[in-house]
Amino acid sequence: QMHLVESGGGLVQAGGSLRLSCEASGRSFSLSAMGWFRQAPGKEREFVATIGSGGATYYADSVKGRFTISRDGAKNTVYLQMNSLKPEDSAVYYCAAANGASYKADNYHYWGRGTQVTVSP
């Protein structure tokens, strides 16, 4: 079992920045790939970014160059640094854990409850 808790969401103006954090407990964090997904009202959950246990990263095209995913093994925490935010980035952001880095939500076995990000025009 793995327990994930997101934090860092909030309201920000377009062009601003936020850093999301996801603290993991339980199952070995160092062996897990970690991902961020988001879901806006009326839309399907979509992939944002993932980082493998070895540090390899992958991003959705919509956030590439603006968002950065990173992990701190000492703190069992994964981060999502979000810069140049746009109103279309508004969503609930979820942290998830998988055996290997993937853009597919079905491959993730553990999920946090999410944190709301709202970007005003």
| Per-residue CA distances from 27 to 45, 76, 109 (Å) | 24, 10, 11
pLDDT of amino acid 103 = 94
* 106 phi and psi angles, rounded to 5 deg: -65, -20
Please check whether residue 44 is in contact with residue 35, taking contact to mean a CB–CB distance below 8 angstroms: no
Q: What is the mean pLDDT of the chain?
A: 96
Would you say the C-alpha torsion 49, 53, 7, 114 has a positive or negative sign?
positive
- What does the pLDDT average to over 84-96? 98
pLDDT band at 79 (very low <50, low <70, confident <90, very high): very high
